[in-house]
Amino acid sequence: MLEVRRKIMVAVDGSAVSDKAVYEAVWLAGCQAGKFKNKLFAVFVKADRVRDYDDLFVKGVSAESEISERWQHIVEHAFLVVRKLALEKDIPFETIVVEGEPAASINHLAHKHDIDLLVVGSTGKGAVKRAFLGSVSAELIEHAPCGVYVVRA
H-assigned helices in 31-150: 64-88, 102-112, 135-143
Residues 116-135 that bind Mg ion (CB under 5 A): 124, 126
For the bound state, the minimum distance from the C-beta of residue 56 to ligand ATP, rounded and expressed in Å, comes to: 14
Residue 41 contacts residue 94 (beta carbons within 8 Å): yes
- Please identify, using beta-carbon distances, which residue of 107 and 123 lies nearer to ligand ATP: 123
Distance of CA 87 to the CA centre of its chain: 17
Size of the site for Mg ion (CB under 5 A): 2
- Please identify, using beta-carbon distances, which residue of 25 and 29 lies nearer to Mg ion: 25
For residue 30, state whether it binds Mg ion (rule: CB under 5 A): no
Q: How many CA atoms are closer than 13 Å to the CA of 62, on its beta-carbon side?
A: 1
Name which of Mg ion, ligand ATP, none residue 38 binds, using a CB cut-off of 5 to 8 Å depending on partner kind: none
